[in-house]
Amino acid sequence: MSENQTEHHKISILIVDDTPNNLRFLSSMLLEQGYEVRKAINGQMALRSAQAEPPDLILLDVRMPDMSGYEVCHALKAEGKTREIPVIFLSALNDEKDKVIAFEMGAVDYVTKPFQFQEVLARVKTHLTIQHQRLLLMEQKARLEQEVKARTETELALKKANQELHHLATIDSVTHVANRRRFDEYLNEQWQRLTLEKNGISIILCEIDEFNAYVKTNGDPSADECLRTVAWAICRPIKPAKNLVARYSDAKFGLILPQTTVAEAFRVAEQIRTEVAQLKLHHASAKESPYITLSLGVSSIIPSNKSQPKMLIENADRGLQEASTQGYNRTVIHQ
């Protein structure tokens, strides 16, 4: 197999010259070298041929009637399909100005007539090699860009999947608010931040009153629906931007309120208690009320290196226990 052929592609050269002898001479010599040769005797024919099937290289005469080689080259470089084809000018014009124009038009080389075929052949081989290397680089670049795109898409998909997994791992499956894991995680995050800022944080712990009795009377499906409805009511007065509502355990919910004073937290707790009471969810087995109610404990602190989050939780839990002991459906502050 010739060095100018491959298993899938034979190198094609388009010769454009209005002189038949030049066409025959170049065509014959290039065919002997194993190239596929096409011929055109004027600019319009050359442009049609190049557009129909772009060659690997064009040998282009400068001086032709109707359309000069410069005009042909300009037209080739103006079209995306033919823009990258290397063009070697063949001309009897040896003036420096003519060569400058040729390169300004986008030619890769300029051979003056009368030419020696070995010189033409050497330049053809050189520019075909350069073109081949350029195409390889373009292919490699395209592959790299595709790989980078695929890797970026994979990383984004992985990041999204991790976010979804984290979301699933931190959401309570029954109530669809945050779970205990997220409650502890968020409290620690805010504790560290507010320690540096020397700003306060409040916690509300609330529990559905006499919920065990409700479950025994109504069953688990109704109990789950009750929990979802109460969770929705608890979220209503809460601004989600910085505050967190979580299912703390069974029928107990926890609220983290950064940058909130104990008085502000108490007002929020009372709003929540009112929201739940207004639901009028029937609780036939309750001793204190015919409807679902909440008992709430509130605590507040300015975090420091000498204190720990569990102190805040323990105080809020004591307030909750006092509210239950005092007869349910009330809010107690414990500092």
How does DSSP assign 73-111, residue by residue?
HHHHHTSTTTTTS-EEEEES---HHHHHHHHHHT-SEEE
Range of the domain at 41: 12-140
Rounded distance between C-alpha atoms, residue 207 and residue 167, angstroms: 24
Say if 154 falls within a structural domain: no
Say if 164 falls within a structural domain: no
Q: How many domains does the chain have?
A: 2
Cis geometry, peptide bond prior to residue 114 (ω within 30 degrees of 0): yes
Q: What angle do CA 325, 328, 331 make, to 5 degrees?
A: 95
Rounded distance between C-alpha atoms, residue 43 and residue 173, angstroms: 75
Question: What's 64's DSSP letter?
Answer: -
Residue 278, sorted as left (phi over 0), alpha (psi -120 to 50) or beta, turns out to be alpha
Predicted model pTM: 0.56
Q: Which of 111, 140, 169 is the last residue of a domain?
A: 140
Shared domain for 188 and 100, answered yes or no, is: no
Decide: 256 and 298 in contact? Cβ < 8 Å.
no
Say if 3 falls within a structural domain: no
If you count them, how many residues does the chain have? 335
Say if 5 falls within a structural domain: no
How far is the first Cα of the chain from the last one, in angstroms, to the nearest whole number? 93
Displacement of CA 208 from its chain's centroid (Å): 43
Shared domain for 305 and 184, answered yes or no, is: yes
Residue 210, domain CATH: 3.30.70.270
Shared domain for 184 and 114, answered yes or no, is: no
Q: Quick check: helix, strand or coil at residue 234? A: helix
Q: Which of 140, 160, 188 is the last residue of a domain?
A: 140
Shared domain for 204 and 281, answered yes or no, is: yes
pLDDT for 280 equals: 94
- Span 13-49, pLDDT tens digits: 999 999 888 899 999 999 999 999 999 999 999 999 9
Say if 238 falls within a structural domain: yes
Report, in angstroms and rounded to the nearest whole number, the Rg of the chain calculated over CA atoms: 42
Shared domain for 288 and 190, answered yes or no, is: yes
Strands 57-61, 87-91: pairing is parallel
Rounded distance between C-alpha atoms, residue 334 and residue 209, angstroms: 19
Shared domain for 244 and 196, answered yes or no, is: yes
Q: Quick check: helix, strand or coil at residue 294? A: strand
Shared domain for 184 and 329, answered yes or no, is: yes
Shared domain for 221 and 310, answered yes or no, is: yes
Say if 308 falls within a structural domain: yes
Rounded distance between C-alpha atoms, residue 177 and residue 170, angstroms: 9
Rounded distance between C-alpha atoms, residue 100 and residue 181, angstroms: 74
Residue 82, domain CATH: 3.40.50.2300
pLDDT along the chain (335 residues), means of 10: 54 92 91 93 94 94 90 93 93 84 90 86 92 88 90 87 80 93 95 94 96 94 95 90 93 96 96 95 89 96 91 96 94 93
Say if 1 falls within a structural domain: no
Shared domain for 189 and 316, answered yes or no, is: yes
User: Which residues, other chains included, contact 68 with Cβ-Cβ below 8 Å and sequence gap of 6+?
Assistant: 43, 62
Listed residue (292, 221, 208) closest to 250, CA to CA: 208
Shared domain for 198 and 110, answered yes or no, is: no
Q: Quick check: helix, strand or coil at residue 22? A: helix
User: Which residues, other chains included, contact 298 with Cβ-Cβ below 8 Å and sequence gap of 6+?
Assistant: 202, 203, 204, 262, 265, 266, 269, 316, 319, 331, 332, 333, 334
- Span 259-302, pLDDT tens digits: 999 999 999 999 999 999 999 999 998 888 899 999 999 999 99
Shared domain for 192 and 296, answered yes or no, is: yes
Q: CB 300: neighbour CB atoms within 10 A?
A: 23
Decide: 260 and 300 in contact? Cβ < 8 Å.
yes
pLDDT for 7 equals: 45
Rounded distance between C-alpha atoms, residue 16 and residue 265, angstroms: 88
Q: Which of 121, 140, 159 is the last residue of a domain?
A: 140
Displacement of CA 158 from its chain's centroid (Å): 11
pLDDT for 6 equals: 45
Displacement of CA 189 from its chain's centroid (Å): 27
Say if 125 falls within a structural domain: yes
Shared domain for 327 and 215, answered yes or no, is: yes
